[in-house]
Structure 1
């Protein structure tokens, strides 16, 4: 009897050891690691803290964001200037964010693509949690293997449609990037957060081939892309076609071509390589600082050639082109940087 019990114990121990060596099903932690949080509205505005918004900001805060209504409601310089120091940045539809903490219906997130010294995970700020969607961390499976891997919205705005091609889901901003599923007769089927498969018109996007590095733009291309936004009203913290701040503008133009710059002007001024003012070329960025150019960098513009620059100046102004000799800027010039390999 004792031999039988001893043998049973040995078998049980051996079985337990074998089970421990077998692969186990993914647990909740590994399942969570296979997912990521992305923006599920045309552009999410990140705030310095929850609940500091005004009534007129409500169109930017719900599940169905209306950025046109929001920016139109800010019809005075004072209403736009009020955002200064209260909003941090924006993130476009489909951009990945890391959730840092929660507070009621709000989450503090870090925008992964927007580098900053403020947080190693990305640019931080608070937003309504309802504007997030959870998606697979793996790239979407392309139904058509000949299709491009990704699209970038090239128009100032582009409509995202249901797969019937007639029902509008969202209006997306310039620079929005989405994975491609297939291409067919003037339409691109994309994997769209919150909606699943959806359609964009081929004429509204730039196609990026799978496995290929994005071709470096010329300075002239950067300038021409930026000129499409001349006349667009300045928006503090803006990074979308509904309004830019100074570094949001320069960052968006470079990002369209696959070049990621730091989010803030003061950190863009530390990236790339220094260029003498006399050697500036179109596409180079110019920086301006307090204390006659010797203090902290507070503004950035793009040199367009011919002694002129293009920039998003401040609340109450629009994206414009002015001479680099303009007195208020000339006295604060703090250097130029180049981010292209030429």
Structure 2
């Protein structure tokens, strides 16, 4: 009986093994006769229901007591927003392994609190730990613009030699508060003045796939030379999938955070590639994706590369390790067949 029970728990743990979107930590606290007492944590009520169903189907004579299994996500959850210009999303409640970064104003569902840390769920379902003192319950103004400058310098007044108040990272959503002499006052952390050409209005995002592709090529050049950073998604340092995600956000397209997720949610395509298509690389034996790049047209790409320590242009056919590790491609544009 215990072996069968443990096997079911192992099977469920494997089904929900992707900790970027799931949590399954359940163990057998006791087993006496035909009664099993379970304890642990799961993310969703649906996960607990999946466990109950698996147990009922496989071990129909087993009485299961699962009151000790905590469901972390609840109805009407606490929502906080990122209150600083940028903070990290970590694998554990400590300043350790960086999973991603969180920009000013992003809304986070608080799943669990532990001291100064919160286990959070982003709107796209991506999970991790954030530092609570950098989050706020203050009302974030509804954004109207995206910051396009890789690092925007926030000034106290609408002039280039005004005192510097802070910085806002490219890709941050802000609200336009005022305009004066080619400068824009925006809601950020802190509020301040930026040149108007550092912003792109949501209502002026490119509409057609052709316009989006062309704009992505211009935007990609802005980030040339930004250093590589595992988990980074800003000009402070950026990884391959963070770079791909940011370029899409700048033209109004939402993509998942990591490379394998980006392929899974995109439209698979074959060569020839168009500007803005995504090319994926990795282990050709297992087909495991480990890297994503953006086509500039054909096999010429721009990407944030660990090998080159940053955002640079390469030609896949001229770089042996890229040519040998190419796996597949996808697009988030609606102008081509798969």
Task: Give TM-score, length-normalised by structure 2.
Answer: 0.68
Displacement after TM superposition at 1:186 (Å)? 2.1
Q: Which residue of 1 aligns with 2:282?
A: 289
Residue 168 to residue 35, structure 1, CA distance change in 2 (3 Å)? farther
| 2:154 is the alignment partner of 1:160 | yes
- C-alpha distance in 2, partners of 1:156/1:46? 20
Q: Secondary structure at the match of 1:231?
A: coil
Is 1:304 the equivalent of 2:296?
yes
1:16 paired residue number: none
List runs of 5+ in structure 2 lacking aligned partners: 1-75
Q: Secondary structure of 1:336's match?
A: strand
- Cα distance between partner residues in 2 of 1:258 and 1:218: 9
Measured in 1, the distance between the counterparts of 2:243 and 2:311 equals 9
The answer as to 2:327 corresponding to 1:334 is yes
Would you say the 8 A contact 2:206–2:212 is kept in 1? Answer: no
**Conserved 8 A contact 2:168-2:188:** no
Give the distance between the partners of 1:184 and 1:208, measured in 2 at CA: 20
Matched residue SS, 1:319:
strand
Give, in whole Å, the separation in 2 of the partners of 1:123 and 1:190. 28
Task: Summarize deviations over 1:163-212 as a string: whole Å, max 9, x none.
Answer: 6873433211111111223333323233336x5x5433213211233xx7
Q: Is 2:111 aligned against 1:100?
A: yes
3-state SS of the aligned residue for 1:232? coil
Is structure 2 residue 174 aligned with structure 1 residue 174?
no
Corresponding pairs, count? 256
Change over 3 Å in CA distance of 1:218–1:258 after alignment to 2: closer
Structure 2 counterpart of 1:37? 80
Contact 1:35–1:134 at 8 Å: present in 2 too? no
Greater C-alpha Rg = 1
Q: Could you say which structure has the greater relative contact order, defined with CA pairs below 8 angstroms and 6 or more residues apart?
A: 1
Q: Identify the residue that residue 47 of structure 1 maps to in structure 2.
A: 90
Match of 1:324 among 309, 316, 323: 316
CA distance in 2, matches of 1:282, 1:192: 32
- Determine helix, strand or coil for the equivalent of 1:94: coil
Q: Once the 2 structures are TM-superposed, how far is the Cα of residue 337 of structure 1 from its aligned partner?
A: 0.8
- Aligned pair in 2 of structure 1 residues 338, 178: CA closer, same or farther (>3 Å)? same
> Do the aligned partners of 1:36 and 1:136 also contact (CA within 8 Å) in 2?
no
Assess if the C-alpha contact under 8 Å between 1:239 and 1:245 holds in 2. yes
Moved more, 258-267 or 164-173: 164-173
- Spell out, residue by residue over 1:224-254, the C-alpha distance to the aligned partner (whole angstroms, 9 max, x if none): 2112222221000000111111100000010
What residue number does 1:136 align with?
A: 139
- Give, in angstroms, the shift of residue 43 of structure 1: 1.4
Deviating 4+ runs (over 4 angstroms) = 33-36, 162-165
CA displacement at 1:316 relative to structure 2: 6.3
Is 2:185 the partner of 1:189?
yes
Q: C-alpha displacement at 1:35, in angstroms? A: 8.6
Equivalent residues of 1:36, 1:135 under 8 A apart: no
Q: C-alpha deviations, 1:286-307, integer Å up to 9, x for none?
A: 0113134x52111100111253
| CA distance in 1 between partners of 2:80 and 2:192 (Å) | 19
Cα distance, 1:162 vs structure 2: 4.2
**Separation of aligned partners in 2, 1:136 and 1:125:** 23
**CA spacing shift, 1:221–1:164, aligned 2, 3 Å:** closer
| Cα separation, 2, equivalents of 1:52 and 1:37 | 20
Unaligned runs of 5+ in 1: 1-32, 54-85, 116-121, 141-148
| CA RMSD of superposed structures (Å) | 2.6
C-alpha distance in structure 2 between counterparts of 1:105 and 1:299, whole Å: 33
Task: Verify the 8 A CA contact 2:77 2:109 in the aligned structure 1.
Answer: no
